[in-house]
């Protein structure tokens, strides 16, 4: 069996796990066997060379549509398509959990949960009177129009759980049509870089005619001086930048800016909610520190020339392991001057803290299982089995929360064979 990384348990005790990296190696082998360059294959499939490069290096998986096209092009007799879909699906095996009374809980598997997520999101897709898909709402149970940001979140979630539930390409075309010179506006006032970062990330997950250079330019144009005071905005933008091009000047700039937002707390440099002049008694933030760790580990997976990044991630991870505060969600108030100078623009951002803690711990060099399991327990507390999605404490169903949960659970599934990956107390029947 092949371990997921040095010092960690294998993903499954029964079989070798198919990963995005494995898909990339096979795709590269097939392309070279066909005697084609990346540019030639990309042109035939109808994507950019940057897309193909990211598939071959394991950064993203091809969408179901593109996987089928690649399989047909290379005459792989469904083998490549099956490999992609296997890598996209989380592990089927989930061992039973034993409760306090010694009773075995036969929970549904993580794969079944993900199937439910895909089906439920497909049901909640908003369409016009002609049946054309328009996107998703930010809060899935409110009667509000779909937004660019929530649609990007929906596309990314469907890619993670397997996008066979619907055709994502009309949604991708819709996102392309709503692009402006500053990227994408997901909010009514001003430029908010997390919107452009989320859209660019979603487009590259599915396959896009947008080049990596264009994506980086849009990310850079979406930033403003306010962004440098907020670890959330910097980390979100950096996460997309490092996936597009880890050695780009913008990537280095964002790394430096993110590291600069740390403050010293009891001899440790950690991330607060914000770093701006005039702060009174700031405190380290679990959500922001965990999010920063996740993106810094992404940097380290792609390059080894930043010892300052490794030191920052290791120091923050140790604090996260030792920290005893609950990993519940928190809200952040973002308020900045309007571009026209007329007052301020204000939005409230919510963070699914436990999901980011799970991701941060799952990428640690030495996996801290007890702390990981505690964060997973908090994550599952927000799972609404009736809705098949994750819910905020108020009962809202924000689409971003399900994306964060699915991302975290996939990360945990790749890190360890048997954490509590199933929702406690659910039926053992397949949805």
Mean pLDDT, the chain, as a whole number? 83
Which H, E and C letters describe 64-98, residue by residue? Answer: HHHHHHHHHHCCCCCHHHHHHHHHHCCCCCCCCEE
How far is the CA of 423 from the CAs of 109, 304, 426, in angstroms? 8, 37, 6
pLDDT exceeds cutoff 90 at 418: no
Q: For residue 286, name the pLDDT band (cuts at 50, 70, 90).
A: very high
What separation in angstroms does the CA of 31 have from each of 28, 38, 68, 76, 356? 5, 8, 15, 11, 36
Radius of gyration for the chain, computed over Cα atoms and rounded to the nearest angstrom = 21
The strand pairing partners of 183, in sequence order, are 180
Structural domains of the chain, ranges and CATH numbers in brackets: 1-88 (1.10.260.40), 108-415 (1.50.10.20)
pLDDT digits (tens, 9 = 90+) for 235-252: 999 999 999 999 999 999
pLDDT greater than 80 at residue 17: no
The share of the chain scoring above pLDDT 90, in percent, equals 46
Q: Among 21-35, 361-375, 378-392, 407-421, which is the least confidently predicted range?
A: 407-421
| pLDDT tens figures, 90-139 | 554 443 343 333 333 334 588 889 999 999 999 999 999 988 999 999 99
Torsion angle (degrees, nearest 10) of CA 247, 6, 294, 55: 50
Identify the pLDDT of residue 136: 96
Residue 299 · residue 262 · CB < 8 Å: no
pTM assigned to the model: 0.78
DSSP designation for 137: -
CA distance between the termini of the chain = 31
State mean pLDDT over 372-385: 91
């Amino acid at each position: 069996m092949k371990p997921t990384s040095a010092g960690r348990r294998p993903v499954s005790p029964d079989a070798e796990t198919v990963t995005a990296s494995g898909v990339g190696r096979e795709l590269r082998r097939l392309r070279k066997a066909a005697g084609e360059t990346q540019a030639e294959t990309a042109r035939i499939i109808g994507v950019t060379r940057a897309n193909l490069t990211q598939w071959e290096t394991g950064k993203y998986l091809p969408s179901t549509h593109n996987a089928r096209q690649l399989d047909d092009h290379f005459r792989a007799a469904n083998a490549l398509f099956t490999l992609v879909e296997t890598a996209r699906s989380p592990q089927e095996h989930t061992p039973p959990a034993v409760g306090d009374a010694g009773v075995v809980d036969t929970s549904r598997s993580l794969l079944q949960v993900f199937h439910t997520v895909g089906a439920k999101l497909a049901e909640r897709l908003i369409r016009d009177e002609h049946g054309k898909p328009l996107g998703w709402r930010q809060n899935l149970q409110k009667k509000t129009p779909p937004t660019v940001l929530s649609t990007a979140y929906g596309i990314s979630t469907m890619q993670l759980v397997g996008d066979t539930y619907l055709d994502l390409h009309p949604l991708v075309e819709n996102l392309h049509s709503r692009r402006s010179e500053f990227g994408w506006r997901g909010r009514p006032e001003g430029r908010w870089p997390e919107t452009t970062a989320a859209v660019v990330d979603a487009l590259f997950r599915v396959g896009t005619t947008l080049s990596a250079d264009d994506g980086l330019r849009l990310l850079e144009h979406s930033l403003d001086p306010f962004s440098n005071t907020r670890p959330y905005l910097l980390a979100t933008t950096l996460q997309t930048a490092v996936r597009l091009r880890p050695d780009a000047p913008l990537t280095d700039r964002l790394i430096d800016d993110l590291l600069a937002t740390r403050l010293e707390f009891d001899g440790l440099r950690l991330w607060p909610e914000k770093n701006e002049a005039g702060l009174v008694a700031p405190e380290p933030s679990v959500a922001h520190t965990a999010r920063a760790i996740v993106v810094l580990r992404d940097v380290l997976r792609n390059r080894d020339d930043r010892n300052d990044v490794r030191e920052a991630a290791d120091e923050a991870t140790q604090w996260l392991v030792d920290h005893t505060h609950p990993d519940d969600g928190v809200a952040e108030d973002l308020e900045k001057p309007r571009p026209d100078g007329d007052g301020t623009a204000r939005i409230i951002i919510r963070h699914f803290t436990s999901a980011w803690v799970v991701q941060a711990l799952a990428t640690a060099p030495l996996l801290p299982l007890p702390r990981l399991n505690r964060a997973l327990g908090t994550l599952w507390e927000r799972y609404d089995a009736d809705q098949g999605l994750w819910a905020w404490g108020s009962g809202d169903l924000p689409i971003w929360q399900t994306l964060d949960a699915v991302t975290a659970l996939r990360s945990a599934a790749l890190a360890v064979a048997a954490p509590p990956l199933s929702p406690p107390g659910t039926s053992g029947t397949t949805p």
